[in-house]
Structure 1
Amino acid sequence: MSGSPASGGHYGEDLFEPEHPQEAERIDAAALVYDPVTTDRLHALAAAPGGRCLEVGAGTGTVVRWLLEAGAAEVVALDRDTGGLGTLAGPRVQVVTADLRDEGLELGGFDLVHARFVLMHLPERRRLVSRLARWLNPGGWLVLGDAVEVPNPLDSASAYRRTMDAMWQALRSTIGTDTSDVPAYPHFLREEGLRNVAGELVCPPLVPGGPLARFWSETWNRMRPALEETGRVDSAVIDEAVAYLASPRLAELGPGMMTAWGQRP
């Protein structure tokens, strides 16, 4: 695992506060794009029907609802802030407001543990992979999804590239986000003794005004002070990058999501 700086910041506190009026909309824009990728994989693994499932970083609950519809016996929805889960609590749902890193957190065994866009923001991610694997019942699946970017090697100067690079730098220095070891997730799962390990990378289309473009626009606008502090961009560059995301000139392979999975023997 690559090292992360001692940022000291936290997702949801130093950046992307859940009480922000646009935060739920920003999260749901990404969910529109990535939920089909996630649920297709979970369906292919037959991981939910009749099982006890853990959704780490439950957000606004879109995957929790899918797991219930897919026939999960129980879903534990874990997040540091569960205000976005609304009225999800019920006889088959347990909402747990806690930090995954809390050493005293014990939730029992699961037939499915799923975490999407969570571990990349936590400098302790390798240790947490071990923890999540330990929570699996025999035959249970661990499914991890995080961001991977495949940048255009011919572009280092456009407003889009400069803003995207500034974002990753700002995330790393502020809250410890690091995607550099995401491609190693299948190796991590094998090291935990899981079998049937595999992974896939999906880069959904980045189209003008689409949900993914809206997600990045809102993300960059919300991060403006942190982006400018990197020294890579100023307000004019960010404005140009945001306008590009809504322009018919948009032609980019945006960041994708790698999903890795493995099964407890």
Structure 2
Amino acid sequence: MHEAERYGDKLFAASHSNESDRLSGLADTFDPASRRNLLALGLDARWSCLDVGAGTGTLSGWLASVASPGQVTAVDRDARFLGHLADRGATVIEADITDPAFHPGRFDLVHARFVLMHLRDREEVLRRMVSWLRPGGLLVVSDALAVGGETSPHEAYRRTITGYWHMIAETIGSDRHCAAQYPRAFTELGLRDVGMDTHLPVVGLDAGFDRFLALTLEQARDRMLAAGLPEAVLDEAVKHLAHPLTRESFFAMATCWGRTPTVS
């Protein structure tokens, strides 16, 4: 029996020629909102911070610029894009966070963005992430929340985005709606001061998001066609996205946070 494919095995693999650029588009789009959320939650230079699924390391690098030297750890299953973080004083760990034996230590902040939604065992990983927090520590998790694309009035775009979400759910187990359950899940895990924020970029108004979506569809093309999306429909959607007056939604970034109880 073959092991189920996971994010980064083949689809969205770090070895793909455009993966760094695709992830950079994602970071350009969402880093400002992530930074605002962390600052609003009281990010302190004294905190020890863990950035889970660090990608290209842009947010880890920013955390390292805010935190005291040696206080930031970045972890990713494939750390090839994280070499630059050593110059920022951050520690890089290449590890699989789904491994039950992985325990990176205890932190004041554990942050993960666009990670849990792509894991089939996300609930178990979320539970273990809470165990990586010190008393009073802050867990901040951001994931995509599908909105707009599957209801777009543009038929080819609507069918393409619907086909994309279905394909990655079947292929790698991604859940485009799981972020909506985080406030409940955080509360059930005993976290306090739970809150949520969303940020919705617009395709056609955000250059980074446009680049991310175009490269995502490029990488996913063969999988979507194999899953039954007509090539003419996908080509029409790509043409639509290239038009300078196109304005579409794809997903919002939903960010949920909560704190572990302090020791009385």
State the TM bucket, normalised to the shorter chain: over 0.9
Aligned-partner Cα distance in 1 for 2:13–2:178: 26
Asked whether 1:239 is paired with 2:239, we answer no
Q: Residue 51 of structure 1 aligns with which residue?
A: 47
Which of 123, 127, 139 matches 2:124? 127
Asked whether 1:141 is paired with 2:138, we answer yes
CA drift at 1:32: 0.4
Aligned-partner Cα distance in 2 for 1:227–1:67: 36
CA drift at 1:108: 1.1
| Counterparts of residues 1-265 of structure 1 (less than 5 Å) | 8-73=4-69, 74-89=71-86, 92-151=89-148, 155=152, 158-207=155-204, 210-231=207-228, 233-265=229-261
The structure richer in helix per residue is 2
- Counterpart of 1:161 in structure 2: which amino acid? R
CA drift at 1:192: 1.1
Question: Closer, same or farther in 2 for the Cα pair 1:117/1:48, shift >3 Å?
Answer: farther
- Counterpart of 2:237 in structure 1: which amino acid? A
Sequence identity, in percent? Answer: 39
Question: Closer, same or farther in 2 for the Cα pair 1:221/1:7, shift >3 Å?
Answer: farther
CA RMSD of aligned residues (A): 1.9
Task: Give the TM-score, by structure 1 length.
Answer: 0.92
Residues 206 and 212, structure 1, Cα contact 8 Å, conserved in 2: yes
Per-residue CA distance 1:62-99 (angstroms, 9 max, x = gap):
00111011124511111000000123125842211111
Task: Give the TM-score, by structure 2 length.
Answer: 0.92
Aligned-partner Cα distance in 2 for 1:47–1:194: 18
Residues 208 and 248, structure 1, Cα contact 8 Å, conserved in 2: no
Which ranges of structure 2 fall in alignment gaps of 5 or more residues? none
Residues 204 and 245, structure 2, Cα contact 8 Å, conserved in 1: no
- Counterpart of 1:56 in structure 2: which amino acid? V
